[in-house]
Amino acid sequence: MSDPVLVIGAGPAGLQAGADLAGLGIPVVLVERRSELGGAPIRWKYKTLAPELRPTEEVMGPMIAAVESNPLVKIYRGSVVERISGSAGNFRVALHTDGAGARELAIGAIVTATGFEHFDASRDPRYEYGRAANVIGIHELEGMLKEGRVVCKDGRKPKRIAFVFCVGSRDRATNAWCCTVCCGVSIKQGIELKLLLKDVEIYNIYIDVRTFGLWEQLYWTSMEEHGINFIRGRVSQIFDTGKQLLVKGEDTLVRGPFEVLMDMVVLAVGITPGEGTAQVAEVLDLKCNTFGFLQPRHPNVHYDSGKDGIFLAGACVAPMSVEEAILGGSAAAMQAAKFVGKSALQAAG
């Protein structure tokens, strides 16, 4: 039996990679920093997935079951990769597990799928995140939607909710890139809020609406079927009056200022490479680009890390949707399978 493939990260990309490799008969070591599998969709309790608002379990359930039920996949929860040595085909990997200490493994190839973190909006003081009671992030709203309970801190039902797009995105002061999905996710959440809270008014305050590809239907549906409002102009400041939130900006289409009172403000917090990605980049000596994401050998071919035997998948390379991360995991698994196959042949012949 060949040395296993190490998959770092058990989000959609890592789970798909692990399932695919095991399905080909290749042993897998799946390392996940947190105590539960599933990555962002499970951690942040996504209720549904854009664009069709299908329940998250439909996708994540089978993926998690696939690795948990396959004897070829050895899962290490609460674990991180601390050190590697050796070379492609013949890695020695040092793992550390919370409460169980260190161990060393022989590994044939590595798939890096360390995912992302949401932008910590308390770094941008204009929005009062972390201070004003009713300013939350899209990641926190998902959990509230899943529980079926969206209320202000003082318990009352919000009548007016604003989504502020591009928080910690497209901003040279924080993160210069676009996070790809938060337009669609915000609009999706707006629709879910309309379904949950019957007479709530939703305002999407945007610069551009980047509902890419087939996600565009969300944009039209939100207006036609749900009466969600769109205001064009980046929010410059949020002030907490104590009772409500004063949201300020320029309406660039009408060319007038707006200062509107909201009961709740949801910040579409962007996607950042995160500590997991940074740590793994250091351990595996992988290049990161100026934005901190893992840099593949070629920007249009994500799985190729430029290092023999190491493959990249998912949001650790660039911000992306769940469906793209799944594709990325599969692609990296294929490359890893090719690689260990060739190694096995060379070893045999």
Partner 1 sequence: MPAFTTRAQKARRRASRLNQDGWLYGGLPGLQWEVENARKADRKVMQSIRDDMEHHEAFHDYYHACINCGNCTAVCPAFRFADFGPRIVVQKVMHSRDEPELLYQMVDQYIWACFQCYACWDVCPAHNNPGGLVAIIKEAAVRHGLQSTQKTLEPYSRILYKLATTGTQITPDMHSSVGLFRDWGPHKAELAKHLKEYRDAVPVETLAGVMDKSWKVDRQTMDELLIIEKESGVIDMLKSSAKDVGDVVEEAAAEAIARKESHE
Partner 2 sequence: MSEPHATGLFDRAKFAASAKLTTGTTEEYLRMLERMRELERRDELLLHHVKDSYKPVSVHTLSRREKRIPTVDLWQHKSCGQCGHIPGYVTALYWIMAELGVPFVDDTNQTSCTAWNYYGSGTSNPVALAAVFARNMHAAWQKDAYPLIHCGTSYGDYKEVRYLLVTNDELRGRVRTILQKLGRDLVIPEELVHYSEWLHVMRDRLAARRQLDVSKIKVVVHSACHCYKLMSEDFTYDDTILGGRRPAPITSVALALGAQIADYSNWYDCCGFGFRHILTEREMSRSFAYFRKIQPIVRETQADVLLTHDTGCVTTLDKSQVVPLAHGYKETVPVLSDAQFAALAMGAHPFIVCQVHWHVSDWRPLLEKMGIDAEQAWNEYREYVENVKRGMKPNFIQSPPRVHA
87's contact among partner 1, partner 2, none, with CB below 5 to 8 A by partner kind, is none
Phi/psi of residue 148, each to 5°? 75, 25
d(CA 39, CA 17): 13
Residue 96 found at the interface with partner 1 (CB under 8 A): no
8 Å CB contact between 32 and 77 = yes
**87 versus 237: smaller Cβ distance to partner 1:** 237
Q: Please report how the helices 182-196 and 216-224 are oriented relative to each other, as an axis angle in degrees rounded to 10.
A: 30
Work out which of 13, 113, 235, 331 binds partner 1, going by CB under 8 A: 235
Q: Which residues pair with 97 in a beta bridge?
A: 79, 101
Segment 204 to 223, residues that bind partner 1, using CB under 8 A: 207-208
User: For partner 1, what does the binding mask look like between residues 154 and 173, x meaning CB under 8 A?
Assistant: ------------x---xxxx
Number of residues binding to partner 1, judged by CB under 8 A: 21
The residues, ordered by sequence, that sit 6+ positions from 68 with a Cβ below 8 Å of its Cβ are: 37, 75
**4 versus 168: smaller Cβ distance to partner 1:** 168
Phi/psi of residue 244, each to 5°? -135, 175
239's contact among partner 1, partner 2, none, with CB below 5 to 8 A by partner kind, is partner 2
Residue 270 found at the interface with partner 1 (CB under 8 A): no
Interface positions with partner 2 (CB under 8 A): 125, 131, 172-173, 176, 237, 239, 241, 246, 290-291
Q: Which residues pair with 215 in a beta bridge?
A: none
Stretch that binds partner 1, among 30-38, 115-123, 156-164, 228-236 (CB under 8 A): 228-236
Phi/psi of residue 240, each to 5°? -90, 110
291's contact among partner 1, partner 2, none, with CB below 5 to 8 A by partner kind, is partner 2
Alpha helices in 72-215 (DSSP H): 138-147, 182-196
**3 versus 263: smaller Cβ distance to partner 2:** 263
Stretch that binds partner 1, among 38-46, 71-79, 230-238, 331-339 (CB under 8 A): 230-238
Residue 25 found at the interface with partner 1 (CB under 8 A): no
Structure tokens at 203: 């305002």
Work out which of 250, 279, 288, 334 binds partner 1, going by CB under 8 A: 250
Stretch that binds partner 1, among 217-225, 229-237, 306-314, 334-342 (CB under 8 A): 229-237
DSSP 8-state class, residue 4: P
SS3 285: coil
d(CA 162, CA 135): 10
Residue 252 found at the interface with partner 1 (CB under 8 A): yes
CA distances (Å), origin 280, targets 6, 55, 114, 176, 220: 13, 31, 8, 23, 40
**177 versus 219: smaller Cβ distance to partner 2:** 177
Residue 248 found at the interface with partner 1 (CB under 8 A): yes
Work out which of 255, 290, 345, 346 binds partner 1, going by CB under 8 A: 255
Return the closest-CA partner of residue 159 out of 247, 246, 264, 267: 264
The residues, ordered by sequence, that sit 6+ positions from 149 with a Cβ below 8 Å of its Cβ are: none
d(CA 281, CA 292): 10
State the greatest distance between any 2 C-alpha atoms of the chain, in Å, as a whole number. Answer: 75
Residue 62 found at the interface with partner 1 (CB under 8 A): no
Q: How near is the Cβ of 32 to partner 2 at its closest, in Å?
A: 32
**57 versus 120: smaller Cβ distance to partner 1:** 120
**120 versus 250: smaller Cβ distance to partner 1:** 250
8 Å CB contact between 204 and 228 = yes
Work out which of 61, 62, 257, 306 binds partner 1, going by CB under 8 A: 257
Residue 233 found at the interface with partner 1 (CB under 8 A): yes
77's contact among partner 2, partner 1, none, with CB below 5 to 8 A by partner kind, is none
Rg (CA), the chain: 22
